[in-house]
Structure 1
Amino acid sequence: MHRPMSSLPAATAAIAAAAIFAALACAWAAAGPAAPAPAAGRPAAEAGAARPLKAVVIAGGHGYPEKEFPKVFEGNADIACTFFTEKVGGEAYDDISKWDYDAIALYNFNRKLTDAQQANLLKLLEKGVGLVVLHHAIAAYPDWPEWPKIFGARYYLKDVEEGGVKHARSGWKHDVDFKVRIADAAHPVTKGVADFAIHDETYCRFDVDPKVHVLLTTDEPTSEKNIGWTKTYAKARVCFIVLGHDEKAYASKEYRTLVAQAIRWTAGRL
């Protein structure tokens, strides 16, 4: 895991809708996520299963290959993504009055949320907006006590002692070749994906809620065993996938499939 970095360059102007659905179904947004008519939490049939589901992909606080990352979301005409880079903290949640995204995909790191931003994110989850947490977003909001409860794990950015229990700083290792094993091949997120090899960064010494539904595991000694799972929080479906450090991981067709199916599942389309 890299050290926290300053906010990333501003995103490019929005791409025309026709290009979005024909190619990436994604656009770079320079302003906060906002769109007409809230549709959060509506069942697929009610929201209109024919329309592409809307997802906002939130980055910030951590370096990553900016040109290559959007390719993870290519080839999915049913998913329209807006990419948003947080410059300060949780400004994506400043105003949710016109929110109409079906799912959030987090790829941010070490962000600080104001009380109002925390409240707005919780409101979205209570409405059923899906949440996908990718790679370094394991530590998206490390200072917020509710964050581990939302997605099912806690990553320690430093040594801590709580209630007489010491927790060593969580670890990571770059450029590891390892095998990912599918723990539940019948789940909509993993359906059609077999065990696969990947070149990626591994994380270790993070705590996982024993109540999560494990989807992905590994025997790699530099990693925790459980590296992908689902859970629910309020009315929201939540999926965490530890994979996705750089373009070498982005190139994995299995990783791309998992991300797309995680977005669909959390949005209620699977």
Structure 2
Amino acid sequence: MKRMVFLSFFVLTVVLSKGQSTKIMLITGGHSFDTLQFFQMFDALPQIEYEHFEQPNANAEIANGKADDFDVLVFYDMWGNISQSEKMAYLRLTKQGKPLLFLHHALVSYQDWPEFEQIIGGKYVQEGKRISEDEVSTYEHDVWVYCTIENYTPVTSGFNELRFFDEVYGNIRISDEVKPLLRTRHPKSSDFVAWQHVYNQSNVVYIQSGHDRRTYESADYRKLILQAIKFLDNTNE
């Protein structure tokens, strides 16, 4: 009888856990975007609950410990200013193993904070006083981006290839330590347009696509984002 009660409790626990939502801290700011369609995309993702924070308030909240209330942090910001206390908060989160998902122009953030490049796994290099011309990254709007799967993980599961009418980044820096997920052969793009890696104790995913509503409304893009979030959430258990 005790065995039956235990098994029933175990099955109920499994069923309930499968229905639990992932709570994400969704961070924007510093770059314009199609706001209506962007939030409609997140509204439509099943078993996802999100709270939106805009910079610079988002970083202030992270420094105050707000990120501890969420399962996954999703960055769609392009921000430059970050205080020392905010930097320490980011590093604290990675040491605690907080999962991080970075989208599109988040790769441009914090040009003057070298550690951020290590966290995200790459960098879009903007023009600057001490930046040589051959280091500067490039972009091209409104192009078809055909992506093949470089590595199959829970993020890329179920795809053979992906196609988005989006924006590409060229001449970006990508760490040798990342695991590439998606490759494109677009002539104005860097080879890899998505990757995952680990920084300190945090699992990190970067997905370059996501410039505007035409991508937000793509079923494949929504599936890719959802699988990335669920993968990251599962690594946090």
Q: Same fold by TM-score, threshold 0.5 exceeded?
A: yes
Counterpart selection for 2:193 from 199, 202, 227: 227
Structure 2 counterpart of 1:172, one-letter code:
Y
TM-score, structure 1 as length reference? 0.76
2:37 is aligned to 68
Note the C-alpha offset of 1:113: 1.0
Is the 2:99–2:202 contact (alpha carbons within 8 Å) kept by the matching residues of 1? yes
Note the C-alpha offset of 1:129: 1.0
In structure 1, list runs of 5 or more residues that go unmatched.
1-44
Structure 2 counterpart of 1:238, one-letter code:
V
Structure 2 counterpart of 1:226, one-letter code:
F
Is the 1:189–1:262 contact (alpha carbons within 8 Å) kept by the matching residues of 2? yes
1:106 is aligned to 75
Pair 1:171 & 2:126 matched: no
State the SS of the aligned residue for 1:176: strand
Cα distance change of structure 1 residues 261 and 250 upon mapping to structure 2, 3 Å threshold? same
Cα distance change of structure 1 residues 230 and 69 upon mapping to structure 2, 3 Å threshold? same
Is the 1:182–1:216 contact (alpha carbons within 8 Å) kept by the matching residues of 2? yes
Pair 1:155 & 2:121 matched: no
User: Between the two proteins, what is the percent identity of the paired residues?
Assistant: 28
Cα distance change of structure 1 residues 195 and 209 upon mapping to structure 2, 3 Å threshold? same
Note the C-alpha offset of 1:122: 1.2
Structure of larger gyration radius: 2
Q: How does 1:207-222 map to 2 (within 5 A)?
A: 207-222=173-188
Structure showing the higher helix proportion among its residues: 2
Note the C-alpha offset of 1:161: 4.5
Is the 1:55–1:105 contact (alpha carbons within 8 Å) kept by the matching residues of 2? yes
Is the 2:203–2:235 contact (alpha carbons within 8 Å) kept by the matching residues of 1? no
In structure 2, list runs of 5 or more residues that go unmatched.
1-13
Note the C-alpha offset of 1:123: 1.1
Note the C-alpha offset of 1:50: 4.4
Note the C-alpha offset of 1:180: 1.2
Which sits farther off after the overlay, 58-67 or 252-261? 252-261
TM-score, structure 2 as length reference? 0.86
Is the 2:45–2:222 contact (alpha carbons within 8 Å) kept by the matching residues of 1? no
RMSD of aligned residue pairs (Cα, Å): 2.1
Structure 2 counterpart of 1:219, one-letter code:
R
Cα distance change of structure 1 residues 49 and 141 upon mapping to structure 2, 3 Å threshold? farther
Deviation digits for residues 168-210 of structure 1 (CA, Å, limit 9, x no counterpart): 321111101121111123x000101220221001111111001
1:56 is aligned to 25
Note the C-alpha offset of 1:110: 2.8
Counterpart selection for 2:166 from 200, 219, 222: 200
Pair 1:127 & 2:93 matched: no
Structure 2 counterpart of 1:169, one-letter code:
V
Note the C-alpha offset of 1:53: 1.6
Pair 1:237 & 2:206 matched: no
2:49 is aligned to 80
Q: Residues of 2 paired with 1:72 and 1:52: CA distance?
A: 16
Cα distance change of structure 1 residues 81 and 238 upon mapping to structure 2, 3 Å threshold? same
Cα distance change of structure 1 residues 111 and 90 upon mapping to structure 2, 3 Å threshold? farther
Cα distance change of structure 1 residues 161 and 86 upon mapping to structure 2, 3 Å threshold? closer
Note the C-alpha offset of 1:252: 1.5
State the SS of the aligned residue for 1:67: helix
Is the 2:27–2:58 contact (alpha carbons within 8 Å) kept by the matching residues of 1? no
Is the 1:132–1:239 contact (alpha carbons within 8 Å) kept by the matching residues of 2? yes
Is the 2:110–2:116 contact (alpha carbons within 8 Å) kept by the matching residues of 1? yes
Structure 2 counterpart of 1:244, one-letter code:
G
Is the 1:89–1:111 contact (alpha carbons within 8 Å) kept by the matching residues of 2? no
Note the C-alpha offset of 1:147: 0.4
State the SS of the aligned residue for 1:268: helix
Q: Residues of 2 paired with 1:244 and 1:160: CA distance?
A: 29
Pair 1:251 & 2:220 matched: no
Q: Residues of 2 paired with 1:166 and 1:111: CA distance?
A: 21
Cα distance change of structure 1 residues 182 and 59 upon mapping to structure 2, 3 Å threshold? same
